[in-house]
Every structure is written in C-alpha cells, then in structure tokens.
Structure 1
Amino acid sequence: MTQLSVTDIDYRPDSRPLFEAVADLPQAVWLDSGRPRSRFGRYDIIAAAPETLLTTRGLCTEVTTASGKHSARDNPFALVQAHLEPLHTSVAKDLPFCGGALGYFGYDLGRRLERLPSLAAADIDLPDMQIGIYNWALVQDHQQRHAWLLCLPDCAPTHRRDILQRVSKKDTKNVNNFFKIKNLKSNFDVSSYKEKLAKIDAYIHAGDCYQVNFAQRFSADFEGSPYAAYRRLRQVLPSPYSAFMDLGDQAVLCLSPERFIHLAGQQVETRPIKGTLPRGASAAADRANAQRLQASAKDRAENLMIVDLLRNDLGKSCLPGSVRVPELFRLESFPNVHHLVSTVTGTLSSDRSPLALLQHCFPGGSITGAPKLRAMQIIEELEPCRRSIYCGSIGYISANGNMDTNIAIRTLACDGDRIHCWGGGGIVADSEPDLEYAESLAKIQVLLDGLSA
C-alpha cells in the first residue's frame, strides 16, 4: 500500500501565489475554487511536472515518461486507470487529492466511445485528452483554512524540498500582466445561427431528439500571456470549478460553474445545469429574473430531460436502486447569470473503477442533449467546428479513489496565437430563437468583455 507524505504549509485565502510559485514548471495545473471571490468552492489543487503524461489524438495516445515515449491504442479512460493502479493508497480519505491524475478529457474524446460522422472542421490543435500523473500536489481547504504539500513515495526528496522552498518565499514573483486580443469574430452571424436552430426544431418535431445543446464559437488573435488573461477573468467571473492548464504553446482557461462527476468513497454525485437567465440591472429586476426562471415550465422541462439522462448514465455504474435525485431545479446565482441546478446521486458498484464511471457518463448530458448519441450527431452536423476542450471535462482522479470533474463550459482554449471561447444552450421544442441567441451571449459576455478590457 502506497504511503503518503503530508506537510503543512501556510494557508492563503487566495491560491494565486501558490500557483505562481510553481507555474514555471512544465504542465502546471491549477484546479481553482474561485476563492476568495466565489462562495461555492472549497478546495484548490495545484501540481506541475508530472511523472507521466498521456496525450490522446484520435486513435493514438502518446505516453511520455522520464525514460521515453511510446504509443498506445487502448481506450484512453482505461489507460489512465491503469497508470493510477500502482499509486493506490487508502490513507487521506478526507483529502480530495493526494497524487494521481490531473487534466482534461476533451469533448471530441467522445469519438472513442460513440460512432459519429466527421463533418465539422478540426481547426484547434489541442489534444483530445491531456492527463498528467502527478506524484505531488499543493492542496488548500478554504473551509478549514488549511493547506498541505502532499507527496507520494516516488516524489524525489530534492523535488519535495524545492517545492517547499518555492511556496515558503514571501516575496511574489514577477508575472507577465500583458494580454490583448484583436479581430474577435463568431463562427455564426445571427441569421445563420437561427437557421441552425430551425433545423434542430425540425429534428425535434420529427422525433429524432428531445433536446440539443447548440453553441457558437468566438475566436480572436491574441498577444501576451494566457495566464494574465486567466487572472483577469477569475476576478470578473469567480466560479467553483475553474481551472488553468499550461500546455506549453497552448493553454486552457476554464471558469465553469458546473460539476460533472464527483466520487468520494463509493458515493457519486452529478449536478447538471439547465435553465439560464441573465442577472438584472437592478435588485428588483434581478429578483424578477430569478423568479421568472424558477417558474419557467420550459426551463424546468429542459432540466428534467437531462436529469433523466444522467440517472440513466449513473445507472450503468451504480448499484441498482441507489440512484436518487435529492435536489431538483435549485436556483444558483453567479455574477453574470441565474441557473437552475439539480443533483443526482448514486452508489458506485464495487466492480466499477472511477474511470469506468466517468467513461459511462461521458460526455456530460447537459451539454449534448437527449438522447445523447443522436444529439451529438446533430451537433456534428450543425456546428461548423469541432468543440475541442469545450464541453469536455477537467478535473482529478486521486490515488485514494476520489474524483471530481467539471463540465468545461465558460472555457477558453489558447492555441498558438489564437484564442477560442464558446457559448450555447439547450434547444427544445418551445425554444424561441431570439432568446436562445441572447442566452448564448449572456453566458460568456463577461468573458468576452474581460478579454477585451
């Protein structure tokens, strides 16, 4: 059984200095609770310099270690699970992460699970999956106001001392604060967006599907530091399932409010978001929007469709009869929008691994539609460009069996000198095109404004 080294470090209300202390190391990752500005998140997890890096493109996963590289064509989820098995530890069950897998599973990884047409342009060069196996992590618990450096046994003592020295320094590092975009443009104009919604409506009335999540993409040229952009955005849209990943000449910036799959022990939870209205300009208008959303039959039906889909997905890996819906249509308010959020829970079967659970739910139903496969086929037909990281999942799978992943919405991808950002929503039979277009903008306008500031 793997033993874990746990070292107390100074707690910081904002984890930004801790990340910046190690950000120059390769493959630096920050799973960010949004604290102190967000009131929902609890943990921050920071790591860098993974022992193993698994990078999937199409049918091939490149596995990189200190001893070299090799390629594999195995199921990517099974590959990650296989690299976690030797690290298994039963200690620190009360800690969310104690070494293990950190990274992302892109939306297009779904092509390894379902048969989909190849119609949309694959014009972003990010991998379909990028997962590091990390033997150390900095973890902050903002509820208990504690922080630790956690190291697995194969973390070299010199490396552990280097991390402790870095985080103990009181002076802050100089960081590049420059970021600028130009030539921001959507891949739809208003009329073409509405034309696609009309096609979705025809599919719904023909009985192909009940709901399709449809998105437009904004792209721009940029100069400067993606991390500078992330620091700016987390100030204006603090979110509990945020993340920053430095991939070299690429980066992922995520300000997600949505949890995908959480596993603690054998207890599983997913919290789909469906139903959105913008915040009001005044307190009275804001209350009215919140009340209108809670009373909306259309939004409640949209949410319920996805709850039923996720009940089915969890049922593939959970004990029969254990899947429950303890919360339905709960209102949660963020700086830019109000959301309806439901909670679905279950108990994981003893013969299912965390990665098997994730695979059987991937990609998340809240960002595909229902039924899932037909919705994904329609998305491929109607969205001109593949989604890449957008609507995939970012998170961790710990050596102690815990897992927490988000739905990668409110997410930006930096690829070379281009940055991309998506906004979308669930389309159902009674969707109104003007309102759907406005909703797709309301979700990400704060991000676009933050980038342009």
Structure 2
Amino acid sequence: MLRNFCHFADKWQASLFAFKLCSKIAFLLICSFLGDFSVRYIQKLPLPVPSIQHILTQLHASTGLVFLNNHDSPIIAFHPEAYAIYQHDEYRFYQRDAFTNYHLNHDYKNLNDFIQFDPTASASSDLGFQGGYIGFIGYDIAASQDVCVKHAVQPALYIGLYRTYLCQHADGWYFYSDAEQPEQHYNWLIDQLSQTLASSIQPLRLHHSFHPRWSKSEYLHAFHKIQDYIKAGDCYQINLTQEFQTCCEGELLSKADQLWTLTNAPYAGYLKLDDFELLSCSPELFIEFEANRSLKTRPIKGTMPRYKDLEQDEKSKQQLKSSVKDQAENVMIVDLLRNDFSVHAETGSVKTTKLFEIESFNQVHHMVSEITAQLKKDANPFDVLRSALPGGSITGAPKIRAMQIIEELEQAPRGAYCGSLGYFNLDGTGSWNILIRTIQKYQDTLSVWAGGGITIASDAEAEYQECLDKVSAMLNLINTWQSHTDDYAE
C-alpha cells in the first residue's frame, strides 16, 4: 500500500507541476490575445537541458547579453529592441534596425522618454521577468544626483528593452518573444546553441593576484577620519569600502559558473557590453516592485563569518544576532530606507515587517530587515528606483552627507559596485538588487570591492577584518586563475 501511495504521490506532483507550467503558458498566451501582455511566441528548447554557463558562452557575442537569477527561474536575454547607455559623461540611445544591427536614436532625450510603462499591461506575479527592461545603474551615476562624484571610464548605466528571452523552468528552457519575426530569433538561437561549444572565449587569466588599493594603514586612517566626522555630528554611519584590483586577460564569463557555485547568491546576474563585464554574486535585494503597487526592500547590515565546525558556526550566528552595534547600524539604515520610501508611498503605508533577522549564506551570516510600502497611484516605478539609489545600506546616514564623505575618503569611483542590477516588466513590476559581492572587468582590469558600515561603536580592527571576510572566498578562488601563484598580500 505504501508503495502504491508513493507512486500516486509522485504522479500527483508531476501532474501538479505540469498543470502549473501549462497555466503559466496559457496565461501568457491569453494575455497576448487580449492585448494585456504581448508575448506571442513560446517554444520549449528541443535540446538536452543546457547549463546557464553553456548558453551564455554560446551567446557571448550577442549585443546586450544579460542573465538574472530571477527568483530561481533564471532568465537569459539578448538582442534588445533598444537600449540606453551612459559612458564618457553622456547618454546614448540605440535602436535595432535589423536582426542584430543597431543605430543611434536621437528621438530619446532622457531615460524617462526611453522607459515607458503600460498601465494596462498585466503580469503574473509568480513569473518574474516577462519581457521589459533589464539593466544596471552604477553607484557613481546614482550618487551624482546629489553629490559631485568621479566617474569611471567604463559604462555607468545600461538599460535595454528586451522582447526576446529564455527562461528556465523545472523541465527545461523556454523561449519567449513578442518581437517581430520571432521565428527568426528562435531559429538563430537554436543554431547558436547547437554549435560546438564556442572556442572563441578566452579563459580568464590573472597576471598577478589581487591587491588592495589601500594599505591597512590607509584603511585605518579613513576609519578614524569617519569617527571624527561622527563625533562632530556630520553623520551617524558611513559605509566605507575598498577596492581589490588586478590585471587580467580573457573573459570573466569563462569563470562565472564557479563563482555562482561558490556563493549560491539569490540575486546573481551577469551583463556584457563590449569590453565591459559585470558579474553579480549579490545576496541583497534592493527594491522589489510587486503587483498592486506594493514595494519591498530587504537591507543587509551586520555580517559574521561562517565556519565548517557547527558549534563555532552557531556561535558566530548568535554573536551577530545579539550584537548591539550591528543592530544600531541596521536600524539606522531601516530608518533611512523608510524615509526614501515615504517620498513615493501612500501616507501610513510604510511598514517595517522584519527587523534584525539572521540569514545564512555560503560564506557569511547576515542581519537582514524588511520594509514594505504602497506606491502612490501616480508614482513612476523607475523614478522611485532612481530616487532611492544609491541604497542606504551602502552609503550610510544621512545619505547625502555620507556620500560626500565617501567621495572624499575613497578617492576612486566605485563604478557599478553598490549600484543595482535588475528588471522592470512593462507593467512596472520588477526586482532590483544591490551590487555587492560583484566583480567588474573593464578591458584588462578586474576589480572587486568590499566594505562595511562604520559607527561610533565600531572597532577599527574588526571592521577591517569584516571587509576581508566578505570577499575572501571570492578572492581566494579568483587568485587561482593565474599562470603562476603568488601569495595574497593584505
């Protein structure tokens, strides 16, 4: 009887999954027919289930190639219909005029011209991305809304309009498109994926191991300068970060799978723009734009390392849970984000739904809180995102003064680090992360940043060690990708 019951349960679970998947596809097709949401072409890939790394490798030469973890339903998008990019102190807008050809579009004057939501569109809240805008907004361009900051020469912002993409479900990859001639895109994709694994991707090789841009004494000098600012009443908390950098050759994409396996990050992602690659292993959600104009943010403030020994690991977790210093940091950022939300939220709708919860990741424990709100009816989701950036968890408080102090002390542009990577559906729903635990490659330079919040209660040695704890596993892995090994120096 037990055997029969288990057999029945297995069949029931399989049937339930098939029903859910068919329901999702039916939803998209019905919405397409009604005009609410215009996905017109859906095909399951008739190939053995390829890995994310395999698909990205085969498509690495595609314009605007991007991957998002997407609520554990990974998406890969390519060949945007149009895209916006900010680099060399100017915006440029491009339109696709053929299958893979792009030209400058001078009709767009700004991002609000480019990013247009459709209030009549509808999206299923459990599907994640369903066609719309994907991209990143770097820290520097976000901070420059309020503070004069230096910009890196690499792209500072990219947002593409994607009507063709892949989404991975439990039974394989599905192709979605509402572009013109979707069959042409589909046939091209199948041709690309059917070819022998691309050999044109050069494996990433480091010329030498990572080195911090600051010496330890330089970090401590910046730390004590922040303490002076806090005592003078300029600020309550500053998120001080430092860069680790090396020279390299080859494609960062060639090692993406190893980094995602190492970190198992919920907000992982990848984006390639010519000679710029951005690889996210982020554990942190910035803003989720949910159905019915609901907002959610989950700031991280407070970190302790993980250990293989279970008793030591639990002790580290409990130490973080009871840390008055980390709770003080966390609540400052909660208050800042509540204030950011209140600008665009219905009066009285901003709620702190979780406070000081401990979440465990592969290398560290984090202290996480959660804030929700209800958007005003006339609020534009992109304006909400842009005005809330940079996120309070990676600036400090008060935000504008914190960014001024960061600019003074760090003396180098952060680039994409501490910005945000994510998507908007055409109805304005979407999800955007905080770009921490993120690797940037521009031409032959590879960089990783790490930092932490400094308050009056902070200890200099502990803060320096926390900074290393956050990226040590990543750096140790990446440092193995060189033709010769030299010791990592602090």
TM-score (norm 2): 0.83
Residue 12 to residue 314, structure 1, CA distance change in 2 (3 Å): farther
- In the comparison of the two structures, how many residue pairs are matched? 436
SS in 1 for 2:347: coil
Match of 1:65 in 2: 95
Task: Give the counterpart of 2:78 among 48, 58, 81.
Answer: 48
Say whether the 8 Å CA contact 2:57–2:253 is kept in structure 1.
Answer: no
For 1:230, the equivalent position in structure 2 comes to 256
**Retained in 2: the 8 A contact 1:59–1:73?**
no
Q: Are 1:24 and 2:39 matched, yes or no?
A: no
Larger radius of gyration: 2
Q: Deviations over 1:276-299 (max 9, x none)?
A: 011124111111000000000000
1:328 aligns with 2:365: no
Alignment CA distance shift 1:174-1:192 (3 Å): same
Whole-Å separation in 2 of the counterparts to 1:270 and 1:20: 33
Alignment of 1:38-437 (within 5 A): 41-57=71-87, 60-67=90-97, 68-70=103-105, 76=111, 78-82=112-116, 84-85=117-118, 89-114=121-146, 116-118=147-149, 122=151, 124-141=152-169, 147-154=173-180, 156-164=182-190, 166=192, 169=194, 176=201, 178-183=203-208, 184-265=210-291, 266-437=293-464
Structure 1: stretches of 5+ with no match in the other structure = 34-40
Shift of 1:399: 1.6
Q: Which amino acid aligns with 1:275?
A: G
Task: Provide the C-alpha distance between the structure 2 equivalents of 1:161 and 1:92, rounded to a whole number of angstroms.
Answer: 27
AA aligned to 2:154 is L
CA distance 1:245–1:386, shift in 2 (3 Å): same
Tell me how large the CA RMSD over aligned residues is.
Answer: 2.4
Identify the residue that residue 439 of structure 1 maps to in structure 2.
466
In the TM superposition, what is the alpha-carbon distance from 1:360 to its structure 2 partner?
Answer: 2.3
The question of whether the paired residues in 2 share the 8 Å contact of 1:105 and 1:392 is answered with yes
Q: Distance in 2 between matches of 1:219 and 1:192?
A: 16
Is the strand fraction higher in 1 or 2?
Answer: 1
In 2: Cα distance, 1:214 partner to 1:163 partner? 44
C-alpha displacement of 1:345: 0.7
Alpha carbons 2:143, 2:390 under 8 Å: kept: no
> How far apart are 1:12 and its partner, in Å?
4.8
1:175 offset after TM fit, Å? 7.2
1:36 corresponds to which residue? none
Gap change, CA 1:101 and 1:62, over 3 Å in 2:
same
Give the superposition deviation at 1:403.
0.9
Q: What is the alpha-carbon distance in structure 2 between the residues aligned to residue 60 and residue 430 of structure 1?
A: 42
1:7 corresponds in structure 2 to 42
Does the C-alpha gap of structure 1 residues 295 and 74 become closer, same or farther in structure 2, counting only changes over 3 Å? farther
Q: Distance in 1 between matches of 2:369 and 2:184?
A: 46
Alpha carbons 2:41, 2:182 under 8 Å: kept: no
Tell me the secondary structure at the aligned position of residue 38 of structure 2: coil
Quick one: which amino acid aligns to residue 218 of structure 1? F
Pair 442,80 (structure 1): closer, same or farther in 2 beyond 3 Å? farther
TM-superposition CA deviations, 1:171-205 (whole Å, max 9, x none)? 75557472221343211101110000001011111
Q: How far, CA to CA, are the matches of 1:336 and 1:103 in structure 2?
A: 27
Query: 1:15: how far off?
Result: 3.3
Deviations 1:63-116 (A, max 9, x none): 01135214689554x24423x55x9732545421121111100001124421x2
CA deviation after TM superposition for structure 1 residue 22, in Å: 3.0
Report the residue type matching 2:42 in the other structure.
T
Return the alpha-carbon distance in structure 2 between the equivalents of residues 321 and 189 of structure 1.
47
TM-score by length of 1: 0.90
Superposed CA deviations along residues 200-244 of structure 1, whole A, max 9, x for unmatched, are 011111111111001010110012221113222112112010111
How far apart are 1:6 and its partner, in Å? 5.0
Displacement after TM superposition at 1:151 (Å): 1.3
Q: Decide whether the 8 Å contact of 1:279 with 1:289 is kept in 2.
A: yes
Aligned residue identity for 2:287: I
Using the TM superposition, give the Cα deviation of residue 155 of structure 1 relative to its aligned residue in structure 2, in angstroms.
Answer: 5.4
- Aligned-partner Cα distance in 2 for 1:313–1:432: 29
- Secondary structure, aligned partner of 1:43: coil
Native 8 Å contact 1:180 1:452 kept in 2: no
What percentage of aligned pairs have identical amino acids?
Answer: 33
Equivalent residue of 1:339, what SS?
strand
> What residue ranges of structure 2 are gaps of 5+ in the alignment?
1-34, 98-102, 481-490
Instruction: Give the whole-Å Cα distance in 2 for the aligned partners of 1:406 and 1:117.
Output: 24
Distance in 2 (CA, whole Å) between partners of 1:149 and 1:309 is 41
Q: 1:79 to 1:211 in 2, by over 3 A?
A: farther
C-alpha distance in structure 2 between counterparts of 1:290 and 1:174, whole Å: 44
Checking the alignment, whether the CA contact within 8 Å between 1:317 and 1:360 is kept in structure 2 is: no
